[in-house]
Structure formats: structure tokens, C-alpha cells
Structure 1
Amino acid sequence: MQLIDRRAEKQVLHHVLDSVRAGMSGALVLRGEPGVGKSALLDYAVESAADLQIVRTVAVESEMALGFAAVHQLLVPLLPGVDGLPEPQRRALGVAFGLVSGPPADPFLVGLAVLTLLADAAEVRPVLCVVDDAHWLDDESADTLSFVARRLLADRVGMLFAIRETTEPDPRLQSLPGLRIAGLPEQGAYELLETSISRPVDAAVAARIIAETGGNPLAIVEAVRELSPKQLDGRAPLPEPLAVGHQLDVLFGRRVRELPTDTQTLLLLAAADQPGPGDRLWQAATMLGIPESAAVPAEATGLVVFWPEVRFSHPLVRSAVYHAATAVQRRRAHRALAAACDPELHAVPRAWHLAAAAARPGEGVAAQLEAAADRASRRGGYAAAAALLERAALLTPDGERRAERRLSAADAHLLAGAADRALALLTEAVPGLRDPRSTAQAIRLKGEIGFACGQVADAACALVGAAVRLRPLDPSTSRDTLLSALEAVVFAGWASSTAVLQEIAGTARDLPLMRDPPDSAPNLLLQGYTARVAGGYAAAVPALRRAVQTFLVDEVDPDIALRRLLLVAIAAVDLLDDTSVERLSTHWIDRARHSGALTKLAGALAFRSALVDGPSGRLAAARAAESEAHELAVATGNPRVVPPSGAHTLLTLALSCREAQARATAAAVARETPGRGAAGEAALAAYFLGVLEISLGNYGSAVGCLHSAYTDDTPLIGTQALPDLVEAAVRAGRRDLAERALQRLEDRATATGTPLALGLLARSRALLAAPAEAQQDYEDALPLLGRTRAAPQLARAHLLYGEWLRRQRQRREARDQLRAALDMFDGMGLHGFAERARVELRATGEHARKRELGTPEELTSQEAQIAALVSRGQANREIAAQLFVTPSTVEYHLRKVFRKLGVTSRTQLAHRVINQGFGVLHPVPASGGPILDGHR
């Protein structure tokens, strides 16, 4: 194809193609106004890629509500490779494409399947994916393809998109590399004008055409085609205005109306069904008495081709065809197309055509749209289901039934991640709801939307209100709503939510009997939390401990486990049961990875970073988890799936003593959380900042930070912050506060009895004890903490003991403890605490130099993560499935890891990982194998 004056654009396209040929991957989004040449550039890329496999699709407006329609059409040539996918991916893709039945797959497991399918195909021959008119992609396809484009790295796959510039760009494609396609420069525009007509054009006329079209190639060609010979040579005036921009639509419409009536009808059928199967078009045409010969005049104009597939010369042509028809003509076309649809195989497009054919509301069509929505949601097409339900609501004559369908549409939008649209529909639905159960569900949905938007305090209130209403109607749903409310309260703040907590406890106490037994996992969880509200910490321990153990065995329903593992893991944190916290975190990540629930996975990884890897001293693993959580939040197009404030990143910053960054993050949390009512989240950040202040010896500031955790007493950090508060208060001269914190810690450690709780209690007692008792307390603390995964707490016990021994003038013994502390802090990268130990060691008369570490700090977070998983003996394909990348990408990163760490084999890498502190193998009995940095 001859492209005029597009040298720069062609160079960028060749760079993508050459990168793919060289074994890498690349994505590029061409952006520009209609007619500017995006499609022509895509055609040029395809012609330049004869040595590549080409998969191509054109998105169309009429398919925007059909979930996965575009990605399905794109991948048709590669579908034979589906059988080679891992079983969860194969099942997810089959359900999404309607090839098999089954429960709805998480859309992002579909994304992983598409990623694997493309990478597998590229192993045989490089692949180029081309998507035109991407602004009309259905939501599920846009999510899937943008996810795939971001995860490709070294896979021999290129992805090219063309998208119309709009005032509200799609954030999913906006994050990909882009190239703005502008109109042709003056010289190029003149060249196009000359080649598009076989006669000379007056210079003044040419200048005006180029000026008014802005160099838009389609506008230039069509403007010239519309002008008479006299107008072109300047002997007749030009029309005002020229047919450019929105006028092109009028121009194409006029050309359509000049065609024979049968041809216009055939074009209308094609426009209404684009890109439907050709047999459906001709079947509908036959029903309307349209012969195949009607296609000839349309093809002669160059507006459309019908064979081998229907393709309009430009999207504006299709739009002009459709809108040039009267409403009656459009409804007639849609009725014929609906009649041509197989009710089983094409239920969703049939429902859409019936809806478009409806002249007025009718329950029959609305019910069919609702049934189609059910089919779409069962395939994981929640955005498609939401659109179908919205349309069903519009066509529902009965007001109450219309409100019910709007409520269902709002729920589907929330599942699709469109919280703002969900709230708008919910607001429309509420006034028309009459059934008490529906009203309660609406209140519950309002709470869930609030939680999804980070408005945790409002969400907690709404969820409790819904649970109260649901209690006599549906006890099980009421219980589940109470658990959701508790989850919201954890982040909203325990102390600031006293009234809500009391209402939760009262509602739970009055719940009628349910089908599942009292010792089922959800019931135990609710019993434990409500006991903490009503009877205090010690009263809650038995039920919470049983709930934790119940969730640790694989007998809990997978959906319940995935929904409630956050609340269970927080219970284990509150019990100071670090072993269970790590196992639950691993369980949570495993379930989310296996099911492809990326939003849940992002939250699980944020938890992992802040409350497992950080407290265990595995900072590289914590950073890797943070990084992946952020990537997944971007991939899902929902940054709210991790704490919006970034509070979860603060402990890693504090322990590694990145002081400026930690203080900036803490300040951002303090500014951001009040507007969302997220006092619990703010207390978490204040606690992490308090740890930084302790490491720096700023004990007065540490007390200020830690006191908020003490007063709020959220299960998230209320108990684990107590030993830090005791230390800070003692050193700041606040003995009264230290004694109160110690008493609370003693009560709780006695109740829970874990090695971590008892070890921290002994260490804290020593800070307030007389010399005779203090030494024994320290000696008791060390072996207890040595049995835990909390390596930083053990190192801090050595530090505090060493500091105490030095003050007792036992210098030799002090050096032993301080050396042990320094070695541990240095090995973990806890630089603030290491400096404290170094200063104390110098005070004993021993010179302690800073340790130079050839550690994995050189590795990126993803490289560290891959190194850790390789060290467990996992193959590249297994790692790829866990990290939502391709085996080729794993291999690419692994080569860089080998080079950076100076190793030449996986065995050497495993030794390096284990010995240098960024990967620590821990046995986890329930898993049947060791855990490295908590990733199974």
C-alpha cells in the first residue's frame, strides 16, 4: 500500500515489527481523528509483516455490549491451540467464548489464557495482533487486550491498536505506548490531492481543500470526489462548508440514498449486524426479499465489500448507512436479524436485535434481555450483563420490575469494576423498589459500592443497615453482610465505629438458625469478632482461633474462602499467630492466583507485603509483593483494590530506613484517609511510622505515632503495636503509658499463648523490670522469638538485651548480643536498627564497620520474585502462570538475574537466594512443601 508522507509513522511501526522478529514484544496505540489514516497505517503494518502470523479484528459499536466479542473474533485463527492451555485457563476461555458451560471465570483469568495462547502461537511463528476502531471494544475485550499488552515482554508478539481520539480517553489503552496520527503536512496533502484525481486542480482550490480538511486524508479524497470539474479548476464557487469532519457523515448518507432501495436495505442489514456472520445477513435479507444482486451497486461505489466478509470502507460509512435510515426501517432490519439468530447459539445478539426492534416497552423483550444477561454473567461478561440489564430495565413496562432490573444492573456494573455507574443506577432504582428483600439488597449494594470506592466508614454503616433488614428475610445473607461490615470497620477504625460494632454484635446475636452448623467457618468468624466487641479480647480468642484453623484446612468453600480470607488473616494477626498469618496469606494468594481473581490477588499481595513479608524481615519479597499488587491494580483498571493511601508500603520503607520516602508516604496517608473515613488505615500507617521513629531513636515521636494504634485498637494492628508502644514509652519517660500498654499485652499474650505473643511479652516486661528480673525476661524472650518467623523482633530483642547489658557494665556479654543483632539487621537490610546496634557496639569499645552486601537489592522486584520461585524448583511455565506473564518473559528476567548475581545454574541461584536473606524457605505443613517468601 502506498502511504504518502508517513515516514516517521512507518519507522515506528517497523520498530515494533523488528522488535517482534528479534524475540521481544511490543504494543502501540495509534490515536487520531476519523479519516486521518490510522486504518491505512495498520494495513501497511500488515503488508510489512508477511513473515508473521496475523490475527486481526475491527471493533464495532453494535458489539460493545457483547462481552468478549472482539477478542473472540481476533483469536479465531488461534483457537485450535486452546486445547494446549493449562486447564483453569482453558476452562475460563471456553466459558468466556461460550464454547463450554460452567461458573463465570474471572475476566483476568481469561486475560492470562489469551496471553498464553498468543505466546504459544508465537513459539512457532511470531504473531502480530491488529485491532482497529479499538474505541468500540466491548469492556471485557478491552480489559483482556490491555492486560495482555502490558504483560508481554519477550514473547515475539506485537499488538497494534487504532483508536479514535476522544475527550475522555480509555485509561486501559491510554497507559500503552502511543503515537498520535495527525493530518498530512502541506506537501503530503498536495501529493494526495493530485493522486486522487486525474485532472489538474486550481492552486487556490487546492489550498482551501487542504486548509479546511486539516490534511485529513479521507476528508481530502472525499471532498475532491464531491466537487465538479468547474469547481476543481476554479471556475465555479466551492460549497460552504466543504464536506469535512461531521459533514462526511452527511456526504456518505447522501451516497447511500442514491442507491437502489434493495441495496439500501441490504446495507442497513449489514450496518445493523456488523460484524455478524455472513450467513445471518443473507438469511435476514432473504426474509425481506432482498436478492444477492443487491450487493453489486454498493460494492461499485467502494462503500463496502460483501465477500469474503462484510467490511465497510470506513466506520463513518457504516454510521451513515445506519443513521440515514428511518426509525421504522431500522426496527424492520433488526426484527429480520433477530429472526435469523439461533435462539441457543446466538441468544445475546438475538436479544439485542429484539430490543432494537422494539417500538415501545414490553415485558417479553425485557425478559429475553434479562435471560441474555444471565448467560453473559455466567461467562464472566459482567459488563455485557450490566448493559443488557440496563436495556431490559428501559423496556420494562412495570415500574417495580423496572427498578428490580436496574438494581441487578447496578450489581453487575460493580462486579465489572464500574462503581460510579453502579451507584448511578442504584440511585435510579431505589425509589421504585417495594419488596423488603430488594430494599435490603439495595442498601447492601450501596455499602459494597462505598467499600469499593474506599469510603469505608459510610460503607460499614450501610452494610450493617442492610444486615438488620435481611436478618428475618435471609439469615445467611445477613451474616455475610455483617462480615463485610466488619471488614469495612477494620479500615474505618475500631474505636471510631463503636456504635456500628455494637449493632453488628446485636444483629449477630439475634440471627435465626441457619442451614450451616454453628461451627462452620463463617459462623466461627462472626462469633469471634462479635465476642471481641461484646466481651473483650480474651473472650474472642477461642472462636477466632477455631475460625483460623478451619480456614487453614481445605474444607471451606473456595468462594467463601476467597471472600473472607482477609478477615481471617486479620484475626490471626490479632492473635499474634505469625505462623497462621503466613499460611493464610499463602492460601489466599494461591486461591486468588488459581481462580484468576486478580482484584483479590492485588489485595492479598498488599496484605502480604505489610503484614507478612515486612514483619518477617524479607524486604525484597515485600517490595516484590507491593510491585505486583500495584501492577495488578493497574491491569484491572481499578487502583482502589489496594489501599489508595499506599499505607501498605510504609513498613518496608520504615524498616529499610528510607526516611524521606516513609515520611512523605505517611503525610499522604494523613491527608487522604480522613475524607474516606479510613481511621483504621491511618492508624496502620501511624504504627509503621512509629517503627521508623523507634529505629531512629526518636522515642517521643514514636509514642505519638503508636498511641493512635493503642487507642483505636483495631484487630489489624492494635495488639501487635503494643510491644513497640511499651519500648517507645519507656525510652520517652512515659512509664505510666508503658505500664498500661504492658498490662494489655500481658492479658492478650496470656489468652492467645503463641510463641510470638509470649516472646514479645517477655521482652516488654524486661524494659520495665528491676535488674534481677529483667535479665531473666530477656533470656526467656530470645528462645521464644527464635521459634517464630518474626526475625526483626528477635533481632530487636538481642539489641535491647545488649543495650541493657552495656548499661549494667557487662560489656563482653553486651557485645555478644549486639553483634547478633547487628548481623541480623544487616542481613535483612534494616538499616535504622542496624545503626542503633552499631552505635551501641562502639560504646562497648568495639569498632563495627558498615557491612557491604552484594544483595539482591540489585534485582528489580519482578526479578527477585522470579529468583525466589526458581529457587523452589519451579519450572518457567509454572512461574509464568503464577505471575500472569509468559514463560518467555520469565526466561528473559532469569537471564538478567543470572548475570546480576553471577550465577550460572538454578542450583547456584537457590543457594544464593537462601543464604543472602531475600528468600527464606519455611516449611508449611498444609502445603506439602516448603514456602519461599510465602508464594506457593
Structure 2
Amino acid sequence: MVLHGRKAETAEPDGLLTRARAGLSGTVVISGPAGIGKSALLDYATTTATDLQVGRTAGVEAEQELGFAGLHRLLLPFLGLRGRLPGPQRDALETAFGLLRAAPPDRFLVGLAALTLLAEAAATKPVLAVCDDAQWMDRESLEVLAFIARRLHADSIVMLFGVRDHDTALDSLTGLAELRLTGLPGDEALALLQASLSTEVDRVVAAQRVAETDGNPLAILELGRSLTRGEAAEPAFGQPPSLDGRLKERFLRQVVGLDTLTQQVLLVAAADATSDPALLRRAMARLASASPAEVGTALERAEEADLLTDGARFRHPLIRSAVYGGATSSRRRQVHAVLAEATDPVGDADRHAWHLAAAADGPDEEVATRLEAGADRARERGGHLAQAAFLRRAAELTPPGPQRNGRLLAACGAALTAGAPHRAEELLDLLTPNLGVPFLDAFAMRLRGFLNVMLGRQGAVTLLLQAAQTLGELDPRAGQETLLEAMDAAIVVARIGPGMSAKQVAQAALAAPRAVPDEPNEPGVGGLLLAAHATLISVGYAEAVPLMRQGLGAMQAAGEHSDASRWFLLGAVLALDLWDVDALGAGSLRFSAAARRQGALRMLQAGAHGSATHALLCGRFAAAEAHFAEFMDIAAAIGADLRFAGTSDVMLHAWRGDREKTLAAVAVQAGPESEQPGGLQVQFARTALVLLELGHRRYAQAQAAAEIVYASDPPHYGGGVLPDLVEAAVRNDDLDTAQRALVRLSERAEASATPWALGLLARGQALVTGDEQLYLRAHELLAATPLAPERARTHLLYGEWLRRRHRRSEARQQLRAAHELFAGMGAAAFAERARIELAATGEHARTRDPSTVRTLTPQELRVAQLAAAGATNQEIAAELFISASTVEYHLRKVFRKLDVTSRRQLKNVMDA
């Protein structure tokens, strides 16, 4: 297949196909305006890939709301291999395609299943997966395909997308390699025109006409057709309206010039997304009493006019748009009515209902009810955007009133579940105002607050709290859930906004009626967590500790499918505030594993951050980096606000002493000091700044940064800065400040009574009082924990104290231990601080070679850790949402970098 003027462009798919034959993978998004040659380039790739297995799909404008329809078309050639998938993945894929009735699958588990299926196919022969007209692909399918594309590496799979530029579909594909097509250069454009002509045309005239097309290949070919047929000159293609509009006008003129029956056939074909000739014949029999032979003749005439090809398929999507858009609304409704009659209401119930809705010219409760049934089917398949679309259309067929608003709110909830907050906002804006139905009004407020959380906007907490207060009077359970959402939002949003605080949420929670638990003698995890947070914020730390322990205990005892998984973040925050490192680690590990089994990436995102924080606290910085990388990867996959997700590892940078990265992250997370304190990440950032300055021995700056947190005493993680403030103030000879911080630390640590809390308290007391027994007590308490950085800091502070008392031999022992620990974990600034102190005793620290493990990328490190722990390649693939072949690729690189030849040797290196 030869493409005029596209030599450079064809090199892109050629290169990817060559890589696939060598065992690697690649993706490119081919973008550009209509008619620019995207489909032609995709056709070139498929005809070139004769030695590859090919799966192809295309977005269809009329099918945008049918969830997973596009993915099903792509995977159809490979579905025979689905028996090789792990059980949860197979069930998720079959449920999404309507082959199995089960719980609605998370679309990211569907994505992992699709990736594994393609990788299984590629294990025998490389695979080319093509998605054309991605701008019309149903959202579920497009997000799954984008998810796969971002995880390809060494799978022998090539993915090619064709998408119109300046389209929202590009949002889902952001970050993937892009090839943007532009018009052909003058000589190549003229050559294409000449090749399309059956007769000679004056070259000067041809060049003038080609210039009007801006090098658009479709426009050039249409120009060639008009010149060949001797048609009158048309207005310049490049003049307003758009080139698309001019091409549609041309196609519509061609349609109008055909006989009535052929026009009717074309309109029915345009209204039907299946391109099924049998369906077309049945519909035409109802519409025009046309016989199959007459329909066949009309199809032939449409093909002769170069409008259809290969049966009932349009030669170009613009022709379909021109035919459908050029018909009157009454004609379109008539055509959809006959298509509904011709469609099986049982076997293809969703399309049947959709055609009935398109045929309706006013409110119709019977059709709206059918659409609601379609929404239920979509939800069961995990197609939440399709569910939202069916419910929206049902609402459009419902007169203004509570029922219409109820359907719109249900549609909005489905859109939020699908991770589409902008679409949810559109639905909320359609609500009929001032109906005076408190429950619906409160529910709308709740949804608007939740979408503001997703969009990173201020005001989310205010809306959720107001909704919770109204709902609590009508339905205590709904009120409690909304209060939990408000509390969650107060913790995670970067900026709560003026006039609102976490304390207001806490006071409302304490005053709210208690929801009746599912089990009479077992209060729900959500209720316990809410009570603990509310008491912590509004009453006091000591009073909250028993409730905090009770909530954490209930979360640890709950099943993975309980509400504990939904509110895991609230539990993880309590573990931090309680200084319970074991609860944080166990909870993060457990709920991350559950999230992987369920394919629930939002829960996995929280689990990854919890795991990263736990690893950081334990001094396993490389593992923390890998978990943070996973957190950011998931944030990108689910469309989270990457401004803040991308700097969530601020504490890691601070521990490593990286001033540039820490300050950059603090600027994003914490913002100007004048701004109202925000959520947990703000406190992490401000505490990270304190830690950074302490490591670099800038004690005055450390104290100033710590006093900002101390003064505001944020309800969550406010205690984390207290040991640092004590240290900084003592080093600045500001004992008054150190003692004030120590009083607050003492109150909370004694109430918590965990070894971590009591160890920090003993160390702080030792700094203020100079009591050596307290240093030894801190050592004893922290030795029972996995908190290597805190043990190292205790060695450092005790060693500094000993040196200042001229007990050099004893100081060396402590400082040497501190330096070894800090250097081993990669805490460069603290290691340097220990080295300087050690040098002051007359001893020079031994230079440590950086661990070869640090040369691994985050992905390689995660693979290495799991392999060292005994996980198989398939288990690692499921854990990291990649393919088994990519796991094998990373393991080969890990073995080479670490100079090992077996998993046993790998375990020894990783354990070292």
C-alpha cells in the first residue's frame, strides 16, 4: 500500500512493528483533522503487518454510550484465549462483555484482563491493536485501551490510535507518543490529485484547486472525483465554514441527487451503528415496504456514488454525519422507530431502547423505564458511563419534577463512579431547580461536593457538610456516609477554602444521629472511624485515643468487601496520629492486596501511599520511592489532580536531603504561608521542610518552619512536627519553645503509649533536660520498632550530647552507628551531619559505596522486591498491573544490574 507524501509518517508504524517482532512494544496516537489520512495510515499498518495478529476497532458516533462495545470488537479475535486468564480477570472481562452475570467489575481490572489477554496472544505471534476514530469510542473502552497502552513494554504488542485533534478523547490519551498529521506538501498533493483522475486536467488549474484543500487528502480525492465527473466548480475548500463543513455539504449534495429509496437506505444506515445488512433490510421493509432485492439495488447505487463500501458501511465518517445531520428531526425519529421495530428487544435490548428513545418526540414513561433497565444492565457490566447516558436520556423523556431530578442524580452518581466529574457536573446543571424536595436537593449537593473533591476545587467540604446535615435528618445512614465523605475531603483536599474547617465537620459528626449498623451488636467501621476523627478534632487527643484504637481494630478485623475498604484512608491517618506504625503497615499491605484482587485503583492509590509512608518511616527509601511511583502512576490512570499527586513524595526528598526537590514540592503542596492550612499533604510538606533544615543543620530555619505547624496545630499529623520542634529549639538555645512543644508532645505520647510515641517523648525530654537515662530509654523503646530513621536520629542526638561533654569514645560509638544507618538508607544530609560530628571526635567515617539496588528504576525495584519475596511472574504481573512478559523483561535487567543469576541470589541482595 502506497501513501502519497507520507514517507516520514509511515516510518513511525514501521518502526513499532519492527520492535514488536523483536519482543518489545510501543504505542502512537495519530491525530489530525478529519480527512487528513489517519485511517489511511492505520490501514497501511494493518496491511504491512502480515506476520502479526491484528485486532481492530473503531469508535462509532451512535455507539458512544454502549460501555465496552469498542473493546469487545478489538478483543474478539482473541477471546478464545480467555480461559488462560486468572479467575478474577476472566470474570471481570466476561462480565464487562455481558457473558457472565457477576458483581460489576472495576474497569481497571478489565484493563488488566485485556492486557493479559493480548499478552497471551502475543506470546505466540506479535499483536497489532488498532483503534480508529477514538473520539467516538465509548469512554470505558477508551480508558481501558489507554490503560493498556501505558503498561506495554516487552510484550510484542503495538497499539495505534487514530483521533481527531482538539477532541476530548485526547485527554484520555495524554502522555502517549503522538504523531500529528498535517496537509500534504504542494507537489505531493498535486501528485495525489493526478493519481485520482481518470482524465488529464490542466496542471495550472489543478494546482489552483489543490491549494484550496490545504493539502487535506480527503478533500483532494473529493476534488478529483468532481473534476473527473465534470462537476461545476465548488466554493474553495479552505474558506469558512470549516473544511469539514464543506466536505459534508458536498456529500449531502451527492445524496440529494440520488433517488428517494437510496436516500432512505442511506439515512437508515446512518442511524444504525451495526452496519448489519439484515437489520437494514428489515427496517426498510417497515419504512418503505421495500423488498430485499430493492434494498440491494439501492445499496449498489450508493456504492456506485462512492458513499458506501463493503455492504452498508460508509466510506468515511463524515458521510455518515452529513447524511444524518442533513435529515429533518421528524425523519430521524421515523427512522429510529423502524430500527427499534427491527431490533430484537430481548437479545439486543439496549439498542432497542436507545432507538425507541431517539424516536420519541416528547415525554414517554414507558421508554424511560426501558432506558432505566438498560442503565441497570450497563451497571452490572461495569459500564458506568453507559449507565449515566441511559439515565440521562430517561430523564429527558421525563417531565420536570422529582422523578426527572432523581434520574439525573442517579446519572450523575454513575458518572462520578466512572471517574468523569465534568460529565457529572453537566448532569447536575440539568436539574430542575427549587422543587422543594429536601432529599433530592441534599443528594445533589452531596454529588456536587464529591465532584469538587475530584476536580481539586475549593468548597467541596462545605457542600458535603451541608448535604450531610440535611440527609442526616431524613436518612441517618446517608447522613453518616456523607459526613465520612466530608471528613475524608477535609483530609485530602489541598485547600479547604474560607469559612470552613475540619472542626466544623467534626462538631456536626458528634451532633448527628447515629446510623443503625448492619449488625446490631457490631457498629460499622465507618461510624467508628467517624467518631474517632470527630473526637480527635473537636474534643481532644487523649479523649480520642480509645476511639482511635477501636476504629483501627474494627478496620483490621473487617472483611475486604466491607465499608472498611472505602474508608481505609481515614484509618491510615488515625494510625499515623496514634503513632502506630504496625497498624499503618498491616492495613496498607492488606487493603492494597484487596484492591489488586478487585482491580479497585482508587483504593489501591490510598494503599500505595500508605505503603510508601510506612516504608519511609522504616528507612526503606528505595521501597518508598517505588510505592510513591505506583501512587503517581495510579493517580494519572484515574485522572486525579496531578499537581499534588506528583509531589506526594515530599517527605522522601527531605529525608534524602535533596533541597531542590523538597522546596519545589513544598511550594506546590503547602503554598504561601498566608493561605489557610489544607489537608494532610500540606502538613506532610511543612513537616518535610522542617526535616530538611534539621538534616542540613539549619536549626533557626527548621524552628521557624516547625512553629508554623505548631501554631496552627492541625487536627491531623499536627503531632508529627513536635519532636522536630523540640530538637530545633534546643539547638537554637530556645528552651521556652522546646518546653512548650514538649508539653504537647508529652500529653499525646502518654495517651498513645505506643513504643514509637514514648520513644520520641523520651528523646525530647533528654534533649531538654540533659538526662542521659532518657537517651537510653529512647533507644530501648525505639529498638522495639522498625523505625530505623528514628533509631538513627536517637544515636545522632545522643552522640552529639556525649561529644559536647567530651566523652569522645562513647560519642564515636553513637555517631558511628548513626552514620552507618543514615548512609545505608540514603539519608544524605543526616549522614553528613553525623560525619561532621564524628570528625569532631577525631574519627573519620568510612566511605560507603552506594548500594547497587539504588541503580534500579522504581518499576525494577518493585519487581525485584516481589520476586525476592517468592512471587511468580504471573503474580507480580497482577500485583503491578503489567504483563508477565514485561515482568520477565524487568527481571533480566535487574539480574544484570545486580550481577545475580538466580532468585535466591536476588533475595540475598535485597535482604542485605
Residue 316 in structure 1 maps to residue 315 in structure 2:
no
Kindly indicate whether the alpha-carbon contact (under 8 Å) linking 1:454 and 1:644 is maintained by their aligned counterparts in 2: no
Counterpart amino acid of residue 282 in structure 1: R
CA positional deviation for 1:469: 1.1
Deviations 1:463-518 (A, max 9, x none): 22222111232111211222222222334699998865255335434414514346
**1:399 offset after TM fit, Å?**
2.9
Cα-to-partner distance string for 1:162-220 (whole Å, 9 max, x where unaligned): 12223666222242212222222222222222222222111221111210112222212
In the TM superposition, 1:100-179 aligns within 5 A as 100-166=100-166, 170-179=170-179
Deviations 1:506-552 (A, max 9, x none): 54344145143464322222222222234311111112112112211
Encode CA deviations 1:873-905: one digit per residue, 9 max, x unaligned: 111111111111101111111111111111111
Query: In 2 relative to 1, CA 178–257 (structure 1 residues): closer, same or farther, beyond 3 Å?
Result: same
Which residue number corresponds to residue 824 of structure 2? 827
Instruction: Work out whether residues 29 and 177 of structure 2, in 8 Å CA contact, stay in contact via their aligned partners in 1.
Output: yes
Mapped to 2, the partners of 1:739 and 1:430 lie a distance apart of 59
SS at match of 1:360: coil
- Give the aligned partner of residue 596 of structure 1: 599
Q: In the alignment, which residue of structure 2 is the partner of 1:863?
A: 860
Q: Which residue of 2 aligns with 1:549?
A: 553
Give the partner amino acid of 2:364. G
Counterparts of 1:779-928 in structure 2, within 5 Å, are 779-915=776-912
Q: Does 1:471 align with 2:475?
A: no
The residue number in structure 1 matching 2:534 is 530
Secondary structure at 1:124 match in 2: coil
Distance 2:673 2:859 in 1: 29
Per the alignment, do residues 647 and 716 of structure 1 end up closer, same or farther by CA in structure 2, a change over 3 Å counting?
farther
- Asked if residue 416 in structure 1 is aligned to residue 411 in structure 2, the reply is no
Contact 2:585 2:610 in 1 (8 A): no
Q: Tell me the CA shift for residue 305 of structure 1.
A: 3.0
Deviations 1:636-690 (A, max 9, x none): 2x132x6726552111100111111111221232338987962553232111110
SS at structure 2 position matched to 1:3? coil
Secondary structure at the aligned position of 1:131 is classed as strand
Shifted more, 336-345 versus 876-885: the winner is 336-345
Residue equivalent to 1:224: 224
1:270-419 correspondence to structure 2 within 5 Å: 270-275=269-274, 277-288=276-287, 289-293=289-293, 294=295, 295-307=299-311, 310-419=312-421
**903-912 vs 370-379, which deviates more?**
370-379
| Equivalent residue number for residue 215 of structure 1 | 215
Q: Kindly report which structure 2 residues correspond to 1:66-105, keeping only aligned pairs within 5 A, or say none.
A: 66-105=66-105
Q: 1:489: which partner in 2?
A: 490
3-state SS, counterpart of residue 362 of structure 2? coil
**What is the rounded CA distance, in whole Å, between the counterparts of 1:894 and 1:228 in structure 2?**
61
CA distance in 2, matches of 1:414, 1:44: 39
The offset of 1:405, in angstroms, is: 2.1
- Hey, what's the Cα distance between the residues in 1 that align with 2:430 and 2:330? 30
SS at match of 1:719: helix
What per-residue deviation string (whole Å, max 9, x for no partner) do you get for residues 111-131 of structure 1? 111111111111121111111
Change (3 A) 1:217 1:428: closer
Task: Work out the CA distance in 2 between the residues paired with 1:710 and 1:602.
Answer: 29
For the structure 1 residues 214 and 459, does the alpha-carbon distance in structure 2 shift closer, same or farther, using more than 3 Å as the test? closer
Match of 2:567 in 1: 564
1:33-79 superposed Cα distances (whole Å, 9 cap, x missing partner): 22222222222211111111111122111111111111111111111
Q: 1:37 to 1:443 in 2, by over 3 A?
A: closer
Deviates more, 1:889-898 or 1:281-290: 281-290
Q: Which runs of 5+ in 2 are unaligned?
A: none
Aligned in 2, Cα 1:690/1:24: closer, same or farther, shift over 3 Å?
same
SS of residue in 2 equivalent to 1:429: coil
1:267 and 2:270 correspond: no
Q: Is the 8 A contact 1:27 1:159 kept in 2?
A: yes
389-398 vs 165-174, greater mean Cα deviation: 165-174
Residue segments in structure 1 that go unaligned for 5+ positions in a row: 232-236, 916-936
Deviations 1:421-441 (A, max 9, x none): 323432442615432221221
> Per the alignment, do residues 557 and 2 of structure 1 end up closer, same or farther by CA in structure 2, a change over 3 Å counting?
closer
Match of 1:64 in 2: 64
- Residue 246 of structure 1: SS of its match in structure 2? helix
| Aligned counterparts, 1:704-783, within 5 A | 704-770=704-770, 774-783=771-780
C-alpha distance in 2 between matches for 1:494 and 1:579 = 30
Give 3-state SS (helix, strand or coil) of 1:227's partner: helix
The aligned residue for residue 665 of structure 2 is 665
Distance apart, 1:385 and its partner CA? 1.9
1:839 is displaced (CA, Å) by 0.8
- How far does the alpha carbon of each residue in 1:355-403 deviate from its partner, in whole angstroms, 9 at most, with x for none? 1111223222223223322221222212222222222222212333222
Answer yes or no: is the 8 Å Cα contact 2:699–2:728 preserved in 1. Answer: yes
With 145-154 and 645-654 compared, the bigger mean Cα shift is at 645-654
The answer on whether the counterparts of 1:95 and 1:104 sit within 8 Å (CA) in structure 2 is yes
CA shift in 2, pair 1:710/1:343, >3 Å:
farther
- Farther-moved stretch of structure 1 (463-472 vs 894-903): 463-472
The 5 Å alignment of 1:578-597 reads 578-597=581-600
| Post-superposition offset of 1:761 | 1.2
Whole-angstrom distance in 2 between the partners of 1:503 and 1:328: 53
Please show how residues 161-200 of structure 1 align to structure 2 within 5 Å. Answer: 161-166=161-166, 170-200=170-200
Q: CA–CA distance in 2 between the matches of 1:679 and 1:144?
A: 31
CA contact (8 A) 2:766 2:772 kept: yes
Identical-pair percentage? 44
Quote the offset at 1:583 in angstroms.
0.7
Contact 1:183/1:216, CA 8 A, preserved across alignment: yes
Of 198-207 and 846-855, the range deviating more from structure 2: 846-855
Cα-to-partner distance string for 1:272-292 (whole Å, 9 max, x where unaligned): 112354443333233332333
The answer as to whether partners of 1:729 and 1:737 remain within 8 angstroms in 2 is: yes
Instruction: Name the stretch that deviates more: 652-661 or 73-82.
Output: 73-82
Could you tell me which amino acid in structure 1 is paired with residue 94 of structure 2? G
RMSD: 2.3
Partner of 1:422: helix, strand, or coil? helix
Q: How many positions carry a matched residue from both structures?
A: 900
Deviation at 1:616, TM superposition (A): 1.4
Q: TM-score, normalised by structure 2?
A: 0.94
State which drifts further: 581-590 or 243-252: 243-252
Aligned-partner Cα distance in 1 for 2:165–2:523: 57
CA–CA separation in structure 1 for the residues paired with 2:283 and 2:367:
19
Letter in 2 for 1:617: G
Kept in 2, the 8 Å contact 1:471–1:507? The answer is no
Find the aligned partners of 1:174 and 1:833 in 2 and give their Cα distance: 39
